[in-house]
């Protein structure tokens, strides 16, 4: 957002309840300097992005550590023959999808601190319990419950982040948020390999210690997050040692000047569910579905592919997961920075998918294992970088708090469907080449490119009409809005 629009927001700062102060002096109309602005936003970054990023780190680690446990002995001990491994990976997503829509309503009612800290603590306890299961059916049941608890986490986080930042600040923040998840994926294999060395302690096998120790880490972070998390900027609930009312009002003024939806209206079914009638909402969700199909297939099967397809031993397969995810983190931040700087989203997504297509082709059809491993770098970078890019594309092109809440739920819900697909694409009967799974991932990449082309073409012509004054784009719950254009 430019300095003129930001000044415009500062001149009529809203009060902490989201209403605007007038000439009655209800809120001091002091000018907020550039130094103050930077200081305030740095504090928001530290408390919000860092905390939800750390929680997402354990969330991603807890839902994807099955692959590490699988090659550490779980397959044999729980008799995961046939399609049983695929079953215990996909049952998670059934409840994960079903319980997503209410989550963004609940987080508004309870507040992020209570909601996110509570569900994280509960699923951490569940992870500890997974270390003591005796049968594969018990593990499947635990995964079903894990889906119920984690369903409220991701959509609540992306919704919360979108309320604190303007449209062209959110790309970098989503990238940093997801980079922490990449760090988890990068080092989860190394951590799992270290925990495997506890094999025999307390008469427990190594794979069980992976669940127990990682569950304990999750519980500790959940307890800390109750004090570290912050609420929505318009909330009047107490948040320890954070922004003053004046500083929160400044944050709301910036967001309001950018897209005009800082003030939340009372909940209604029509405001929330009526968003489903906008076809573009499902276009964003379809992009996210294709992206998560690829990312989850990598998360669940990459150690197995390294072990079976590329021929590395168990220890090397655990550890060689790290470098591709570390590389993905660099590409992710770079694309997030470029998207915010140049106000583009669609071309970034297409670029990521081109990178992914090149990587998948190398993974599947090059003759040398070392070169196929290089293909894993490109695939992992392209697919994972597309997660924050897709979230930013959606966040930039909607307006209205309840539509934003609905879109966060549908985006992550279809992302969960992608998780089901991703848990099935690499089948044991297709080993060692896994080519049907590679074809499925390539098809997803092509579908994403097509969706972006359709959306960006539509946005281009709608922006032209808006510029001519023929229509108002993305009318929100409130009529007092600044001008709005779609971000291509």
Specify the CATH number for the domain of residue 183.
1.20.1250.20
Q: What is the pLDDT of residue 8?
A: 38
Kindly give, in sequence order, each residue whose CB lies less than 8 Å from that of residue 134, ignoring residues fewer than 6 positions away. none
Do the domain assignments include residue 336? yes
Q: How many CB atoms lie within 10 A of CB 407?
A: 29
> Which residue's entry shows tokens 């924050």?
388
Q: What is the pLDDT of residue 484?
A: 75
Do the domain assignments include residue 478? no
In whole angstroms, what is the distance from residue 117 CA to residue 329 CA? 26
Q: What is the pLDDT of residue 140?
A: 94
Q: How many CB atoms lie within 10 A of CB 34?
A: 9
Q: Which residues of the chain have pLDDT under 50?
A: 1-29, 476-480
* Angle CA 266–269–273, to nearest 5: 120
Do the domain assignments include residue 162? yes
Total number of domains constituting the chain: 1
Do the domain assignments include residue 12? no
Do the domain assignments include residue 5? no
Nearest to 143 by CA among 159, 129, 162, 164: 129
Q: What is the pLDDT of residue 268?
A: 66
Q: What is the pLDDT of residue 138?
A: 95
Do the domain assignments include residue 480? no
> Which residue's entry shows tokens 């669609």?
346
Do the domain assignments include residue 246? no
Whether 169 contacts 340, CB under 8 Å: yes
Q: What is the pLDDT of residue 170?
A: 82
Q: How far apart are the two ends of the chain, measured CA to CA in Å?
A: 16
Whether 317 contacts 71, CB under 8 Å: yes
* Angle CA 87–88–89, to nearest 5: 90
Kindly give, in sequence order, each residue whose CB lies less than 8 Å from that of residue 141, ignoring residues fewer than 6 positions away. none
Kindly give, in sequence order, each residue whose CB lies less than 8 Å from that of residue 418, ignoring residues fewer than 6 positions away. 288, 289, 290, 291, 292, 293, 295, 296, 444
The residue segments making up the domain with residue 339 are: 40-231+271-467
């Amino acid at each position: 957002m430019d300095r003129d629009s930001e000044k415009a927001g500062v001149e009529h700062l809203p009060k902490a309840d989201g209403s605007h102060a007038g000439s009655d002096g209800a809120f001091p109309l002091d000018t907020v300097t550039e130094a103050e602005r930077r200081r305030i936003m740095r504090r928001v970054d530290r408390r919000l992005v860092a905390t939800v990023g750390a929680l997402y780190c354990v969330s991603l680690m807890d839902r994807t550590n099955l692959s590490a446990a699988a090659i550490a002995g779980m397959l044999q001990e729980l008799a995961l023959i046939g399609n049983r491994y695929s079953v215990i990976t996909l049952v998670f997503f059934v409840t994960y999808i079903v319980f997503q829509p209410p989550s963004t309503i609940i987080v508004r009612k309870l507040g992020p601190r209570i909601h996110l800290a509570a569900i994280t603590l509960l699923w951490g306890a569940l992870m500890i319990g997974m270390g003591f299961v005796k049968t594969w059916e018990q593990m499947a049941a635990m995964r079903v419950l894990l889906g119920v608890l984690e369903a409220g986490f991701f959509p609540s986080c992306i919704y919360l982040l979108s309320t604190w930042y303007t449209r062209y600040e959110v790309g970098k923040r989503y990238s940093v948020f997801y980079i922490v998840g990449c760090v988890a994926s990068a080092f989860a294999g190394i951590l799992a390999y270290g925990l495997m060395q506890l094999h025999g302690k307390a008469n427990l096998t190594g794979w069980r210690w992976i669940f127990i120790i990682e569950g304990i880490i999750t519980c500790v972070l959940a307890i800390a997050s109750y004090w570290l998390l912050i609420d929505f900027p318009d909330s009047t609930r107490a948040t320890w040692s954070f922004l003053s009312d004046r500083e929160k009002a400044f944050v709301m003024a910036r967001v309001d000047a950018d897209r005009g939806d800082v003030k939340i209206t009372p909940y209604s079914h029509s405001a929330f569910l009526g968003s489903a009638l906008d076809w573009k909402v499902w276009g964003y969700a379809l992009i996210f579905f294709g992206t998560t199909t690829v990312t989850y297939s990598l998360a669940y099967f990459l150690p197995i592919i390294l072990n079976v397809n590329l021929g590395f031993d168990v220890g090397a397969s655990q550890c060689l997961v790290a470098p591709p995810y570390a590389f993905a983190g660099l590409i992710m931040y770079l694309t997030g920075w470029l998207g915010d700087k140049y106000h583009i989203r669609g071309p970034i997504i297409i670029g990521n998918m081109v990178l992914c297509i090149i990587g998948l082709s190398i993974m599947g059809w090059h003759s040398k294992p070392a070169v196929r491993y290089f293909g894993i770098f490109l695939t992992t970078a392209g697919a994972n970088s597309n997660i924050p890019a897709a979230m930013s594309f959606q966040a930039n092109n909607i307006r209205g708090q309840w539509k934003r809440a609905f879109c966060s739920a549908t985006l992550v819900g279809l992302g969960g469907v992608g998780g089901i697909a991703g848990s099935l694409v690499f089948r044991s009967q297709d080993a060692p080449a896994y080519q049907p799974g590679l074809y499925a991932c390539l098809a997803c990449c092509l579908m994403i490119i097509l969706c972006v082309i359709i959306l960006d073409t539509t946005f281009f012509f709608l922006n032209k009409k808006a510029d001519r004054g023929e229509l108002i784009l993305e009318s929100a719950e409130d009529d007092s809005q600044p001008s709005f254009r779609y971000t291509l």
